[in-house]
Amino acid sequence: MHTLADPLRHAARNYAGSPATICGDVRLNFRELTARCRRLGGALQGLGLKTGDRIAILAANSHQYIETYMTVPAAGYVVVPLNTRHAEAELAYALEDSGTKILLTDVDPGGLADIVERVIRIPDDYEALLGEAEEIELGTEIDEQSLAGLFYTGGTTGASKGVMLSHRNLIANSHNWTAFAQPRRDDIKTVMAPLFHAAGSNSVIASIWSGGVQMIIPQFIPAQILDLIEKERATQMLGVPIMIAALAEEQHANPRDVSSVRFVAHGGSPITTEVVRRAIAAFPGAEFAHLYGATETGPLITGLHHEERIPHSDLLRSCGQPLPGIAIRIVDREGNEIAAGEVGEVEIGGPNIMQGYWNKPEQTAAALQGGWYLSGDLGYVDDNNYLFLMDRAKDMIITGAENVYCTEVEEVLHKHPAVLQAAVFGIPDKKWGEAVHAAIQLRHPTEAEELIAFCHEHIAGYKVPKGIDFWDKPLPLSGPGKILKRELRKPYWAEEGKQIS
C-alpha cells in the first residue's frame, strides 16, 4: 500500500508536461503541481511543525486546496478540511477538538484566529510562503497506517465528529474509484462538489494517479459550469444529486454543447429516478453512475454503472454492487446477517474503513464492530447483491406501528411535474405517534391537494403526506449538499424535547 506522496511521485515521473489543473486563469502541468506541493511541504516544515500536527483548510475549491489536500498528509501532517457552510461556533469546535495548529483560509477567520497558532491567507500568504520555500522530499515521515485527515461529518443528524482516515484508507478508496470509473489521461474532470467533503475530494487522488486534468470550480453556478464544460470539453462530472438536478434544469432551459461529457456520477445523498431520467435527457451521450458512500468509508462503498441503459427499470432505484475490495452485509438489530430482500442496517467492510472518531471512543466502539462499519442506513440486497437503500435509520418514520421510508415517498413526489425539490420527514402526531410531512419547492404552481391525491395513486394511504410546506426558495442544505431534515423537523418537535415519538 502507498501514501499520498506516491501519486504525486508517479505523476511527476510519468506526466510531467501534461496539464494537471485548470483553475480560472491558472493552468498547471504535473511538473508544476508537484513542485508546488514539495515547496508547500518545505514551507510547512519551516514553521516548526511536528509529525502528526493538524493543519485545517477553510476555503472554496482552488488549485491551492488540492495542493494542500495532497501535501499536508504527504509531508507527515494531518489535513482537516472544514465545511464552509458551518457557523463560526461549529468551525471553532472542529479546530479545538482537533487541536489544529495552522489554519489556511480564503475568508476572514474572525475569532477562529485566536484558536490556532497561525493563519495563512489564500492566496497572498500562501503564495508568499511558496515563493520563499525550498522543495522537500514528501513521504519520508509516514507509512500507510499514518493518520492522513480528520474529516468532520456534515452533522445532518447531530453533532459533528472527526472521522480519522489513514493513508491506507484514502489510497484504497482511490483504487476503488479507479476500478469503477476507469479514468483516462485524456479526461477533464469537473471538480464542482466542495473539496472539504468526501464526495468532492474522492477522485482527486485518482486523477493524479491517472494523469487526467482537474477543472476546479470555486462556486457552484450551473450556467457558468455548463459554459466551462462546453469551452474546455470536459469529460467527467461528479456531484451530489441537487447539483446534477440543477445542471439538468439549466441545460434543458439553455442548451450548450455538452457532447464531450462521457461520465456523470452522483452520490452523497439519495436521488429520485425522475431526477436521474431528466439528467440523462440533458446529457444524452454520457454514462450515468450512482455512487453510495460515507465519510467513514473514505467514502465509496457501492456503484451502479450505466443508469442511462435502465431508465425505467426497478434497478434504477439501486445504488449498485460493492466496489472491488469492499464487502457489504445487511443485519438485524442483533447484528445477525439477514436474507436477501429483507430490510436491515447496512454494514461495510474493507481497507477503506476509518480508524475511528477523533477523541470519541464510545462512538467509535458503537460504529466499528468486528471489523465492520455500521452505517446507520437501512436497505436490502437482491439476489445479485445489488443494494437498495430505504432510509437513514434516524429518518425512518413510524406511524401507527407502520414503517415509512422517506425516500419512497420522495420518489413519488418527484414524479409530479410541478415538484423541483421534496423532502419527507416525520412530525409529532397524538394519534399515530408520527405523521408523514413534506417540504416542497415547486417548479410551477400547484395545490397541496393535487400532490396528496397524486401520492394516493402510487403508494399506500399511511405513506402519503398528511401535510405539505411549500418553499419559495431551495430547501436548507448542509455543505455537501444534503437536505438538512433536522432543520425542517425542528419547528414541529420543539415542544417535544426529542425527535422520535
Q: What is the chain's pLDDT, residue by residue, as a tens digit (501 residues)?
A: 799 999 999 999 999 999 999 999 999 999 999 999 999 999 999 999 999 999 999 999 999 999 999 999 999 999 999 988 887 888 999 999 999 999 999 999 999 999 999 999 999 999 999 999 999 999 998 999 999 999 998 543 446 799 999 999 999 999 999 999 999 999 999 999 999 987 678 789 999 999 999 999 999 999 999 999 999 999 999 998 889 999 999 999 999 999 999 999 998 777 778 889 999 999 999 999 999 998 899 999 999 999 999 999 999 999 999 999 999 999 998 999 999 999 999 999 999 999 999 999 999 999 999 889 999 888 999 999 999 988 776 677 878 657 787 888 998 999 999 999 999 999 988 777 789 999 999 999 999 999 999 999 988 888 899 999 999 999 998 766 778 888 898 898 876 544 433
Angstrom distance (rounded) from CA 323 to CA 6: 22
Amino acid at 309: R
Q: Give the closest residue to 193 by CA, choosing from 154, 233, 232.
A: 154
Angstrom distance (rounded) from CA 33 to CA 70: 11
Q: Give the closest residue to 235 by CA, choosing from 258, 218, 255.
A: 258
Positive or negative torsion for Cα 246, 266, 320, 398: negative
DSSP 89-108: HHHHHHHHHHT--EEEESS-
Question: What is the DSSP pairing of strand 118-121 with strand 54-58?
Answer: unpaired
Please return the burial class of 382, using the count of CB atoms within 10 Å of its CB with bins 0-12, 13-18 and 19+: middle
**Would you state the cell numbers that stand for residue 65, as one nine-digit string?**
486546496
CB 382 within 8 A of CB 342: no
Q: Which residues contact 309 (CB under 8 A, 6 or more apart)?
A: none
CB 210 within 8 A of CB 18: no
Angstrom distance (rounded) from CA 269 to CA 292: 8
**Would you state the cell numbers that stand for residue 43, as one nine-digit string?**
514551507
What is the per-residue pLDDT across 95-111, written as a single tens digit (0 to 9) for each? 999 999 999 999 999 99
- Domains of the chain, residue spans: 5-381, 395-493
5-381 CATH: 3.40.50.12780
Q: Nearest 5°: phi and psi at 238?
A: -140, 125
Strand runs labelled E in 382-481: 387-392, 397-399, 402-404, 419-429, 433-442, 467-471
At residue 293's C-alpha, the angle toward residues 281 and 349, to 5°, is 140
CB 183 within 8 A of CB 210: yes
**Amino acid 199: pLDDT:** 67
Q: Give the closest residue to 167 by CA, choosing from 2, 349, 55.
A: 2
**Would you state the cell numbers that stand for residue 314, as one nine-digit string?**
426497478
Angstrom distance (rounded) from CA 94 to CA 237: 30
Look at domain 395-493 and name its CATH class. Answer: alpha beta
